[in-house]
Amino acid sequence: MNIPQATNFVEEIINEDLKNNVCSTIITRFPPEPNGYLHIGHAKSICLNFGIAQKYNGKCNLRLDDTNPEKEDVEYVESIKQDIQWLGFQWDGKVRHASDYFGQLYEWAKVLIKNGKAYVCDMSAEEIAATRGTPTEPGKESPYRNRSVEENLDLFERMKNGEFPDGSKTLRAKIDMASPNMHMRDPVMYRIKHATHHRTGDSWCIYPTYDWAHGQSDYIEGITHSICTLEFEVHRPLYDWFLDQIATGQRPKQIEFARLNLSFTVMSKRMLLRLVQEGFVNGWDDPRMPTIAGLRRRGYTPDSIKNFAKLVGVAKKDSTVDIALLEHCIRDDLNKSANRVMCVLNPLKVVILNYPDNDVEYVEGINNPEDSSAGTRSIPFSKVLYIERDDFMENPPKKFFRLSPGAEVRLRYTYFIKCVDIVKDSSGNITEIHCTYDPDTKDGYAPDGRKVKGTIHWVSAQQAIPAEIRLYDRLFTKENPSEVEEGKDFTDYINPDSLKVVNGFIEPYAKGARPYTNFQFERLGYFTVDPDSNDDKLIFNRTVTLKDTWAKIAQKE
């Protein structure tokens, strides 16, 4: 095989293994626990594992690490599959499960017992924790450590047969209670849980721990490189020790990389679950969630997420990535692909006094200046328009170049208008403004050469379509919401203004737009059609505003 150029340290290790004929076909895996929806951190791991398989013409398995029956759910399994495919990846063959291997793992556990490498321990979880010692002090050996092989085999079988209550016994590896590595101090391999598993039902009441299940599952599947996050580095000696006990063929190699942390975001599934369960957001796919489902609903594209993963790179040291980089990636993608439309979020009525009452004419709008193949559209223009309330000021400060009494502006794609009058209600609120237009400026320029400083967006009131627009902002106000101060909870840092719903008007061009269609609302940002949107009610989610803070930072550097 031609060895490709390595672009990160994981690929360097793979290339070294290929050169040394340690393996020939590269097989990786993505092993989520189905106890929540996948998030942007998982997306990074997906891009890495599936990306390597693509690059090396290898394979990547999807394996559900379903060893914790109480926390797992079929809804999560389905969402995991959907999200991986939406990103554009396909696992090799069937979806695999750690639970496919429960039988084999049980047999191997008996091999360890027979070789004097595992024993049944009657201590409770608390007692085990209390006798583990500390990193500087050795632990205490269990009084059950020297049970005979026969007794261990008998007790282990009875554990499996359901003779003992939850938590009353465990199977532990017999390694070294004085090891400087705490994970090597007789780690638990099996615990008793009389729980119904979403796949194996009630067949099992003993469940393997992550450490016992993971490496052996990798081995069964012929995984060559088992890529995981840094917190598992300290588990690696145990990963290898277990393989020493059972493996005869080619063994998987565990490689650790830094997990992705994002500013203004929590990523732990435990915290994400709380946000959902306690109603801080409207479900796992709420557009404010860092889940793949949430990002999709927010308007993120697979390409933007993959590009983000590429820019972040693969590191050996943990760090936090600025969420502005993620926002930059979606702006960059949508700038190239999203059609432009005009939408008014906070409408102010404008009547053009000198325009014929019932006329409608059309002006041409460019759908995407970055992509000429996107063409143009006709935008209706008539006597009554809506403009953005913010684009008018009765008493403007200096340098306000939008509309104000006596001032002239350009309406995007067409005429110059001038404000001649303001209409107010009895409480003094402006209800509409009256303007005149210059019929000679239809193409946006004055034949006499006079200039205007401002161009504002607008819609024609009669043809515009009402739309609900959900203005999403960052969910947290604190840069690192997982770092919780004394006496506080991470939910205390939730941004109270993370969602604002407004009712606006959009050009008729958006009529019938399908869910997940992305638009740039001119001057306002990128918006996507929400899946709850339909022909009777158009609903848009704001993906991101136009202001790119990351691009500015990057330019300065």
Catalytic residues: 33, 259, 269
If you search the block for the tokens 């019938």, which residue do you land on? Answer: 512
Q: Binding marks (x or -) toward ligand ATP, 226..255, rule CB under 6 A?
A: --xx--------------------------
Binder of residue 148, out of Mg ion, ligand ATP, none (CB less than 5 to 8 A by kind): none
If you search the block for the tokens 């360890």, which residue do you land on? Answer: 112
For 232-260, give the DSSP string. Answer: GGGGHHHHHHHHHHH--S---EEEEEPPE
Within residues 63-102, the interface with ligand ATP by CB under 6 A covers: 65
Buried b (16+ CB within 10 A) or exposed e, 80-92: bbebbeebebebb
Q: Does 32 bind ligand ATP (CB under 6 A)?
A: yes
Min. distance of Cβ 234 from ligand ATP in angstroms?
14
Q: Does 482 bind ligand ATP (CB under 6 A)?
A: no
Comparing CB distances to Mg ion, the nearer of 213 and 513 is 213
Within residues 278-317, the interface with ligand ATP by CB under 6 A covers: none
Comparing CB distances to Mg ion, the nearer of 33 and 141 is 33
The contacts of residue 224 (CB under 8 Å, 6+ apart) are 14, 17, 22, 23, 25, 26, 27, 28, 58, 250, 252, 253
Region of 29-37, 238-246, 458-466, 474-482 interacting with Mg ion (CB under 5 A): 29-37
For 54-96, give the DSSP string. Answer: HHTT-EEEEEE----GGG--HHHHHHHHHHHHHHT---SSS-E
Question: In what helix (H) or strand (E) does residue 210 lie, and over which residues does it extend?
Answer: helix 210-220
* Joined tokens for residue 550: 């990351």
Comparing CB distances to ligand ATP, the nearer of 210 and 516 is 210
23, 27, 45, 252: residue in contact with ligand ATP (rule CB under 6 A): 45
Region of 42-50, 104-112, 371-379, 447-455 interacting with ligand ATP (CB under 6 A): 42-50
Region of 30-38, 215-223, 382-390, 468-476 interacting with Mg ion (CB under 5 A): 30-38
Backbone angles phi, psi at 392, to 5 degrees: -125, 135
Give dist(CA 488, CA 490) in Å, integer: 7
Min. distance of Cβ 542 from Mg ion in angstroms?
32
Min. distance of Cβ 57 from ligand ATP in angstroms?
22
Comparing CB distances to ligand ATP, the nearer of 164 and 232 is 232
Contact call for residues 136 and 180 (beta carbons, < 8 A): no
Comparing CB distances to ligand ATP, the nearer of 44 and 147 is 44
Give dist(CA 114, CA 24) in Å, integer: 34
Q: Does 229 bind Mg ion (CB under 5 A)?
A: no
Single out the residue of 441, 437, 39 nearest to residue 262, CA to CA. Answer: 39
* Joined tokens for residue 260: 């992705």
Binder of residue 347, out of Mg ion, ligand ATP, none (CB less than 5 to 8 A by kind): none
Binder of residue 541, out of Mg ion, ligand ATP, none (CB less than 5 to 8 A by kind): none
Binder of residue 269, out of Mg ion, ligand ATP, none (CB less than 5 to 8 A by kind): ligand ATP
For 106-146, give the DSSP string. Answer: HHHHHHHHHTTSEEEE---HHHHHHTS-BTTB--PPPTTTT
Min. distance of Cβ 31 from ligand ATP in angstroms?
5
The contacts of residue 95 (CB under 8 Å, 6+ apart) are 62, 63, 64, 77, 81
Question: Strand 361-366 vs strand 253-257: parallel, antiparallel, or unpaired?
Answer: unpaired
Min. distance of Cβ 31 from Mg ion in angstroms?
8
Within residues 367-396, the interface with Mg ion by CB under 5 A covers: none
Comparing CB distances to Mg ion, the nearer of 209 and 339 is 209
Binder of residue 332, out of ligand ATP, Mg ion, none (CB less than 5 to 8 A by kind): none
Q: How many residues does the chain have?
A: 557
Min. distance of Cβ 65 from ligand ATP in angstroms?
6
Comparing CB distances to ligand ATP, the nearer of 65 and 391 is 65
According to DSSP, residue 10 is labeled H
Q: Binding marks (x or -) toward ligand ATP, 534..553, rule CB under 6 A?
A: --------------------
Backbone angles phi, psi at 121, to 5 degrees: -120, 135
Min. distance of Cβ 376 from Mg ion in angstroms?
51
According to DSSP, residue 349 is labeled E
Q: Binding marks (x or -) toward ligand ATP, 255..274, rule CB under 6 A?
A: ----xx------xxx-----
Binder of residue 31, out of Mg ion, ligand ATP, none (CB less than 5 to 8 A by kind): ligand ATP
Given phi > 0 = left and psi -120 to 50 = alpha, else beta, which region is 133? left
How many CA atoms does the CB half-sphere of 255 hold within 13 Å?
24
Comparing CB distances to Mg ion, the nearer of 144 and 210 is 210
Contact call for residues 106 and 216 (beta carbons, < 8 A): no
Min. distance of Cβ 271 from Mg ion in angstroms?
14
If you search the block for the tokens 């942390």, which residue do you land on? Answer: 261
The residues that touch Mg ion, with contacts defined as CB under 5 A, are 33
The residues that touch ligand ATP, with contacts defined as CB under 6 A, are 31-33, 41-42, 44-45, 65, 228-229, 259-260, 267-269
